């Protein structure tokens, strides 16, 4: 991505790229058809992860293309304001910033996308900066980006190759979005990317669709054939770690109230990758991911509930919030 060359090699812990969109959330627990007010924000799996990492004290960078419009400028300022490096993000006049609108009625969230022909959908391999990717320890990408267009598929594969050529680990969350493409289309792209990942971060429900089976044994047998480590989110009461032939379960953290589950997976990824770059064991990294995810679901918004390093230290030490 174009931008000032402010990062030197070895300065970043995690680089990620993808689409961030303007977000409008219907207020008052009403559906969009009846809501009187829409609350503005933004969201995108990759920028959510980058923000989560930054809040935990890690050096993260987000690359993406946004329209050179009010939404795009607002988003890039907000991501920068969270401490994420956006020197390779780009505002373009080629196309507008994408939009998503969300409603939460009776505890059920629905998302509607207006992102066809968005600025991010025109991302191509030449928009990537190999030196920037090489400056990081981990490249994190999701299956949402290749769902946007054929050129985005090429960009995703190019990013992975750049990472591998420079000794950078690859983290891949399939983030299956069936509103963006069919299962058949997704399977042809996501499974090959999974084979390239050092850390594959699927949800159990996604694996059932991608592998066309409800059998956990069959799923684990297929995952064992992958060269990397698989972290299976969304178990009944735990996250699974499949490292070589060893399957380990890491329990969830219990919460008093679930307010909004959107962004929980991105929070998990931020916590897990924080553990990875800090040299934690896989179980310890997943435990941190579980803890971050448990905090996100207790707040409204895609990224707003991501905790800071100080808040996590307080939780782990058992110290509560001091009001005054």
SS3 content of the chain, % helix, strand, coil (to 5): 35, 20, 40
Pairing between β-strand 60-63 and β-strand 65-67 as defined by DSSP bridges? unpaired
- Reported confidence tier of residue 113, pLDDT bands at 50, 70, 90: very high
Residue 257 reports pLDDT greater than 80: no
Residue 32 reports pLDDT greater than 80: yes
d(CA 163, CA 12): 13
- What is the tens place of the pLDDT at every residue in 122-179? 999 999 999 999 999 999 999 999 999 999 999 999 999 999 999 999 999 999 999 9
Residue 185 reports pLDDT greater than 70: yes
Residue 10 reports pLDDT greater than 70: no
Q: What is the mean pLDDT of residues 222-227?
A: 96
- Reported confidence tier of residue 11, pLDDT bands at 50, 70, 90: confident
Write down the pLDDT at residue 7: 43
Sign (positive/negative) of CA torsion 229, 233, 235, 239?
Answer: positive
For the annotated catalytic residues, the residue numbers are: 266
- What is the tens place of the pLDDT at every residue in 200-214? 999 999 999 999 999
- What is the tens place of the pLDDT at every residue in 243-254? 988 999 999 988
Say how many C-beta atoms besides its own lie within 10 A of residue 297's C-beta: 17
Helix or strand holding residue 33 (H, E): none
Write down the pLDDT at residue 192: 97
Q: What is the mean pLDDT of residues 96-124?
A: 92
- Is residue 258 a contact partner of residue 296, using CB atoms and an 8 Å limit? no
Instruction: Decide which of 8 and 65 is more confident.
Output: 65
- What is the tens place of the pLDDT at every residue in 273-309? 999 999 999 999 999 999 999 888 777 767 888 888 8
Q: Three-state SS for 298?
A: coil
Residue 322 reports pLDDT greater than 80: no
In order, the DSSP letters of 125-181 are: GGG--HHHHHTSSEEEEETTGGGS-HHHHHHHHHHHHHHHHTT-EEEEE----TTTS
Residue where the block lists tokens 């307080």? 314
The pTM of this model reads 0.91
d(CA 249, CA 247): 7
Write down the pLDDT at residue 8: 45
């Amino acid at each position: 991505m174009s931008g000032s060359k402010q990062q030197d090699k070895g300065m970043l812990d995690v680089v990620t790229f993808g689409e961030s969109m303007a977000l409008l959330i219907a207020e008052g627990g009403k559906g969009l058809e009846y809501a009187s007010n829409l609350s503005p924000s933004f969201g995108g799996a990759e920028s959510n992860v980058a923000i989560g990492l930054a809040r935990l004290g890690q050096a993260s960078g987000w690359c993406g293309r946004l329209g050179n419009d009010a939404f795009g400028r607002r988003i890039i300022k907000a991501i920068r304001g969270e401490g994420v490096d956006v020197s390779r993000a780009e505002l373009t006049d080629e196309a507008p910033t994408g939009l998503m609108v969300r409603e939460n009625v009776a505890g059920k969230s629905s998302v509607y996308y207006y992102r066809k022909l968005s600025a991010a959908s025109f991302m191509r391999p030449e928009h990537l900066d190999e030196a920037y990717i090489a400056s990081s320890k981990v490249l994190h990408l999701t299956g949402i980006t290749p769902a946007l267009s054929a050129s985005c598929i090429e960009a995703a594969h190019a990013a992975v190759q750049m990472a591998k050529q420079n000794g950078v680990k690859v983290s891949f969350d399939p983030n299956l979005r069936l509103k963006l493409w069919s299962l058949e289309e997704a399977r042809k792209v996501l499974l090959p990317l999974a084979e390239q990942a050092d850390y594959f971060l699927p949800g159990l429900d996604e694996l059932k669709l991608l592998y066309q089976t409800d059998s956990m044994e069959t799923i684990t047998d297929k995952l064992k054939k992958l060269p990397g480590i698989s972290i299976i989110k969304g178990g009944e009461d735990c996250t699974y770690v499949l490292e070589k032939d060893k399957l380990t379960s890491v329990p969830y953290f219990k919460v008093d109230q679930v307010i909004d589950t959107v962004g929980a997976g991105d929070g998990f990824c931020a916590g897990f990758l924080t553990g990875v770059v800090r040299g934690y064991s896989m179980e310890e990294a997943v435990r941190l991911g579980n803890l971050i995810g448990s905090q996100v679901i207790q707040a409204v918004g895609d990224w707003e509930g991501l905790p800071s390093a100080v808040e996590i230290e307080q939780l782990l030490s058992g110290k509560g919030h001091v009001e005054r």
